[in-house]
Amino acid sequence: MPSSWQPNRVEQRVADILRAIRKIREYCTDIDRSEFLSDEKTQDAVTRQLLIIAEASGKIMFLEEQTSAPPSHRLTSIHQEIPWKAISGMGNRIRHGYGTIDPEVLWDTAIASKDLNQLEMALQRSLPLITGDGSY
């Protein structure tokens, strides 16, 4: 982990989510549904990145509960369309139901649905507010 990694900063968790989304895309570039369903390594890699997204989302919620920042500066308030609790809860499902993760659900969650695209776009739009300069 880079020495500049700061687990208790919202902008670091946003960066973690955006990085995980990029990795999922990299892992799934040029493969179709049937290839994904037969490739356990890719399924495992995607599962790991979804877990990172879930953990980072939960940490964002926790950090924002601890802050004195007004709601207008809180990511979870600005983006109420993002199901923060559901995303965080996905981590529990992955951690505790690891033997029953359905590859079809993984495909639907990570690739077929537009959820990750919407999450990514919302977070990218918020980068200037979070970091002050749009970088992370």
Model pTM score: 0.86
Residue 134 lies in a domain: no
Using one digit for the tens of pLDDT, what is the confidence trace for 100-124? Answer: 889 999 999 888 888 899 999 999 9
3-state secondary structure 32-94: CHHHHHCCHHHHHHHHHHHHHHHHHHHHHHHHHHHCCCCHHHCHHHHCCCCCHHHHHHHHHHH
Residue 133 lies in a domain: no
Using one digit for the tens of pLDDT, what is the confidence trace for 25-81? Answer: 999 999 999 999 999 999 999 999 999 999 999 999 999 988 887 887 788 988 999
Give, in degrees to the nearest 5, the angle at Cα 69 between 64 and 75. 50
Residue 116 lies in a domain: yes
Residue 21 lies in a domain: yes
Residue 135 lies in a domain: no
Structural domain span for residue 73 = 10-128
Instruction: Provide the number of structural domains found in the chain.
Output: 1
Residue 117 lies in a domain: yes
Query: What CA–CA distance (Å, rounded) separates 101 from 15?
Result: 26
Neighbours of 51 (CB within 10 A): 17
Residue 136 lies in a domain: no
| φ and ψ at residue 43, rounded to 5 degrees | -60, -45
Residue 2 lies in a domain: no
